[in-house]
């Protein structure tokens, strides 16, 4: 499942969205907005927008993951809108019979979500 949403990502509800009947390993990675100092000051919040077909880009990432690793199910969620410090930006979740595949696929997914061309980031500093 892939999803672009303006709604907060619910860590508890995320577990229920991923199949794990044959999975011995279920791995979740949540990226969060962190406070950092830049040229304009300290980050107050980040605004994420869409420039293109972000859902299609997520589907392609998911396809690459399932083609490469033994995955039972995966969940890719990318948040858009105004996010404050500590809010969840994205989720990469993988269920797999083997932990090696779950970790490798999750790491790959994290890297690809960071580089999404269809997501525009505007950091607001105060």
Residue 8 is classified by DSSP as P
For residue 91, pLDDT over 70 is answered with yes
For residue 96, pLDDT over 70 is answered with yes
Residue from 16, 36, 40, 35 nearest 26 by CA: 16
Q: What is the pLDDT of residues 100-124, one digit of tens each?
A: 999 999 999 999 999 999 999 998 8
Domain boundaries of the chain, sorted by first residue: 2-125
Predicted local distance difference test score (pLDDT) of residue 57? 97
Predicted local distance difference test score (pLDDT) of residue 62? 98
> Which ranges of the chain does DSSP label H, i.e. alpha helix?
11-16, 54-68, 99-114
Q: What is the pLDDT of residues 20-31, one digit of tens each?
A: 888 889 999 999
Q: What is the pLDDT of residues 20-76, one digit of tens each?
A: 888 889 999 999 998 877 666 787 889 999 999 999 999 999 999 999 999 999 999
Predicted local distance difference test score (pLDDT) of residue 44? 86
For residue 125, pLDDT over 90 is answered with no
Instruction: For the domain covering 2-125, report its CATH number.
Output: 3.90.1170.40
Distance CA 112, CA 125 (A): 26
More confident residue, 8 or 42: 8
Residue 101 contacts by C-beta under 8 Å, 6 or more apart in sequence? 25, 69, 70, 71, 94
Number of neighbours of residue 91 by Cβ within 10 angstroms: 24
Predicted local distance difference test score (pLDDT) of residue 36? 79
Predicted local distance difference test score (pLDDT) of residue 19? 81
Number of neighbours of residue 15 by Cβ within 10 angstroms: 14
């Amino acid at each position: 499942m892939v999803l672009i949403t303006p709604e907060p990502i619910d860590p508890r509800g995320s577990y229920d969205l991923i199949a794990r009947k044959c999975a011995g390993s279920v791995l979740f990675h949540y990226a969060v907005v962190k406070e950092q100092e830049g040229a304009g000051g300290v980050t107050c919040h980040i605004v994420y927008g869409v420039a293109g077909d972000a859902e299609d880009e997520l589907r392609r990432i998911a396809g690459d993951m399932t083609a490469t690793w033994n995955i039972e199910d995966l969940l890719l969620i990318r948040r858009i809108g105004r996010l404050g410090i500590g809010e969840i930006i994205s989720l990469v979740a993988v269920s797999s019979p083997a932990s090696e595949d779950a970790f490798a696929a999750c790491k790959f997914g994290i890297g690809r979500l960071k580089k999404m061309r269809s997501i525009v980031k505007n950091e607001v500093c105060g």
